[in-house]
Amino acid sequence: MYLNGEVGARCVADAISLGYRLLDTARIYGNEESVGAGIKLSGIKREELFITSKLWVDDSGYEKAKEAFELSLKKLGTDYLDLYLIHRPRGDVKNSWKAMEELYKAGKIKAIGVSNFDELQLKDLIDNNKVKPVINQIETHVFFQEPGAYEYLKKYGVQMEAWSPFAEGRNGLFTNAALAEIGKKHNKTVAQVCLRWHYQRGIVAIPRSSQKAHMKENLEIFDFKLDESDMMKISKLDLNKSQFPEWT
């Protein structure tokens, strides 16, 4: 469930007040207006933020992509985006990317990328266009570690970003015995262990919470380090399958 309305705006303002600067939204989430309202409520300068939104499948194509982008800007109350992604590798990807390249060259987007692309889809985009995607935002967490994607994204020089670093708590993530044991060792929560695991692998993680206490907790991962034995234990949790089969 995506945070929207007054609750969504409050959550964005709370996150910014705690020090968060990367905000991730999308047309399909239905909360771009709430994110914009939260930014306004926070009183922070626009240039201090890194705002990401995404182009949905229904808006694919050259003209439609440009129209959708402008609508996202309007809802967010900004005149540029820091990052704009093709949300899924469906529809008219070729002409959507062409439109995004033009918006990038015009300075309306600071960087462009993709989400949920596999290696062949990503390589096709790189080989047949002038501007390379800077990010591939995919499902990855301790139960779906995606070592193959981790390697090929490194090979192509594309940043890996986790859109669900906690797997939304599926498969009992927050009560997992191995993660809890690692957390106890470092006096940290399971959530902090998961985020630190992403951080040490060089993966950008986007945690989501409506609770200010959890937002604060999610930031407190820079005063400890997972050792080799911790990383090995976590590697054994990989089930090598999506925890969101309904989204594939």
Three-state secondary structure call for residue 234: helix
What pLDDT is stored for residue 2 in this prediction?
67
Tens-digit pLDDT profile for residues 180-214: 999 999 999 999 999 999 999 999 999 988 899 99
pTM: 0.95
Task: Reply yes or no on whether the pLDDT at 235 is more than 60.
Answer: yes
Mean pLDDT, residues 220-247 taken together? 95
Per the CB < 8 A criterion, the answer to whether 69 and 78 are in contact is no
Q: Which residue has the higher pLDDT, 1 or 102?
A: 102
Task: Reply yes or no on whether the pLDDT at 248 is more than 70.
Answer: no
Active site residue 29: yes
Euclidean distance between CA atoms 49 and 45, whole angstroms: 7
Task: Reply yes or no on whether the pLDDT at 88 is more than 60.
Answer: yes
Tens-digit pLDDT profile for residues 96-154: 999 999 999 999 999 999 999 999 999 999 999 999 999 999 999 999 999 999 999 99
Mean pLDDT, residues 219-237 taken together? 98
Given the residues 2, 20, 29, 199, the one annotated as active site: 29
Task: Reply yes or no on whether the pLDDT at 174 is more than 70.
Answer: yes
Per the CB < 8 A criterion, the answer to whether 171 and 139 are in contact is no
What pLDDT is stored for residue 242 in this prediction?
96
Per the prediction, the chain carries an average pLDDT of 96
Mean pLDDT, residues 81-105 taken together? 98
What pLDDT is stored for residue 121 in this prediction?
97
- CB-based contacts of 223: which residues, under 8 Å, 6+ apart? none
- CB-based contacts of 48: which residues, under 8 Å, 6+ apart? 21
Tens-digit pLDDT profile for residues 15-69: 999 999 999 999 999 999 999 999 999 999 999 999 999 999 999 999 999 999 9
What pLDDT is stored for residue 5 in this prediction?
82
Euclidean distance between CA atoms 187 and 194, whole angstroms: 14
